[in-house]
Amino acid sequence: MKKENHLVAFSFYLMKSMMLYGGLLMLFFLAESCGNSTVRNKELLFWCSNNNQEIKLCTSIKDKWNTAHKDVPVHMQPIPEGQSSEEVILAAVVGKSAPDIYANMWQGNVEMYAHAGVLIPLDTITGFLDFIRERCDSNVIKEITSSDGHIYQVPWKVNPIMTIYNKKLFADNNISDVPKTYSAYLKAAELFKKNNQASSVQKRFGYTAVKAIWYERLFNFYPLYLAASDGAPLIVNNKAAFNNKYAVEVFRFLQTLYMREYFSQENTAASSDPFVIQTIATKWTGPWEITYLNNIPSRGFDFDYYSPIVPDAHTGPVHTYADPKNIVLFNTCSNPRAAWEFIKTLVDKNGDLSLLETTGQLPRRKNLDNDKFYADYFTRNPMMMPFAKEIPFVKGVDNCEVIVEVLDIISQEYEAAVIYGKKTPESAVADAESAVNVLLGKENK
């Protein structure tokens, strides 16, 4: 597809967002583009996440850079507020007010932007490939390589999805071993249910989001699918590849959790955190919970993590979803060489240590768990070590231009089969496969 067609698609997507949200994004970016013109002529414009810890991290790295590089200063700002960072950056691209450097790009969006021709292929910058091969293993490099053979993103940070559990609730319910397989997890859930039948407060063994929104599947179906399948893709050669025993088993396992009322079908987003108030014993989440839970006074329980749940016959390491955010350069950047040199200060060893120390997020760097450079950090933060050990086995999403639509289709079938039991796992996965192949212009054979 031609670049112009992709930009038309961008514009159509943006138009839909404007219809939903009153056109505020476009008005904002018209003002921003005017306000940024002076800055862009003098400096590299760098957008980071609007997370407070990342603002602190990026401000520190930016200040060090500007002290040493007065000839090419960096102007840093958090990504402007909006319905989502994905919509804001899309609006900026369409409005031609994108930053030079963006350090909060969801990996699943990169292929769309790459095909539209709005990103700089980083492998064309001298020294990039040597640097990235030193930092990342071959599997990561393969994962971030676009279908056109170029690399448009720098792997930066990950938050592996694992199973968190309440140690007190496990002990109180005589669950002595962490349940790592489907059958063990279901057995523990049944025991938990029986032990709490007389409780005045309804308790469940676990909870995961029930909304049929594509990104919610990244934190339940997808990590479990990766765990079951040793990291298998959803899409291969532009065709659905997930109609297999692993996806069916995941659907059946999750469906059983709802059918037996081990999980609640209710949406708890607007209520109190069920893990904090101890009405659930487990959930699938990332390392961000560590700081959050440790900052709750008088929490009243200890917690820990273990790997995602796997089929009973599974052997070997357990894969999971990486929840990656990466760094890209937009082709409006007038000084890609200097921009790349700045990016390196974010992802070199010192930058990665600062990421750990300041944000509690993990760099996507090989040998993180046994590199002596980071040993002191993990000695002081032992709960982060399981996540570091998991990094060789994390995955992002497939390089598919319409991966959001793929996940949306899976999510609709997930709701029908898993949450409400209106379909068998086999038929739901098969229907998702058919719909995805229609989306991709393929026919089932």
444 part of a folded domain:
no
Same domain for 169 and 154: no
pLDDT (0 to 100) of residue 185:
98
Same domain for 176 and 289: yes
Contact present, 327 and 100 (Cβ < 8 Å): no
Domain of residue 293, residue span: 162-321+402-439
Within 136-234, where are the H helices?
138-144, 167-172, 182-195, 221-229
Same domain for 409 and 385: no
Contact present, 261 and 153 (Cβ < 8 Å): no
Instruction: Quickly count: other Cβ atoms within 10 Å of residue 278's Cβ.
Output: 17
The CA distance from 391 to 401, in Å, is: 25
pLDDT (0 to 100) of residue 85:
82
Neighbour order of strands in the sheet with 162-166: 204-206, 280-285, 162-166, 303-306
- Chain centre distance of CA 46: 21
Whole-number CA gyration radius for the chain:
23
Strand partners, 47: 77, 102
Q: Rounded to the nearest 5°, which phi and psi values hold at 104?
A: -145, 35
pLDDT (0 to 100) of residue 413:
98
Residues of the chain with pLDDT under 70: 1-41, 83, 269-271, 443-445
Same domain for 331 and 214: no
Same domain for 219 and 74: no
218 part of a folded domain:
yes
Domain total of the chain: 2
Contact present, 210 and 265 (Cβ < 8 Å): yes
127 part of a folded domain:
yes
128 part of a folded domain:
yes
Instruction: Quickly count: other Cβ atoms within 10 Å of residue 286's Cβ.
Output: 23
CATH code of the domain in which 373 resides: 3.40.190.10
Same domain for 303 and 237: yes
Long-range contacts of 42-45 (CB under 8 A, 24+ apart): 42/73, 43/72, 43/73, 43/74, 43/75, 44/72, 44/73, 44/74, 44/75, 44/100, 44/101, 44/333, 44/335, 44/338, 44/339, 44/342, 45/74, 45/75, 45/77, 45/99, 45/100, 45/101
Burial of 272 (C-beta count, 10 Å sphere; 0-12/13-18/19+): exposed
Same domain for 27 and 169: no
Kindly report, residue by residue over 126-182, the tens digit of the pLDDT.
Answer: 999 999 999 999 999 999 999 999 999 999 999 999 999 999 999 999 999 999 999
Strand partners, 283: 164
Kindly report, residue by residue over 377-392, the tens digit of the pLDDT.
Answer: 999 999 999 999 999 9
Q: Rounded to the nearest 5°, which phi and psi values hold at 413?
A: -70, -35
For the CA atoms of 238, 240, 244, 249, the dihedral, rounded to the nearest 10 degrees, stands at 130
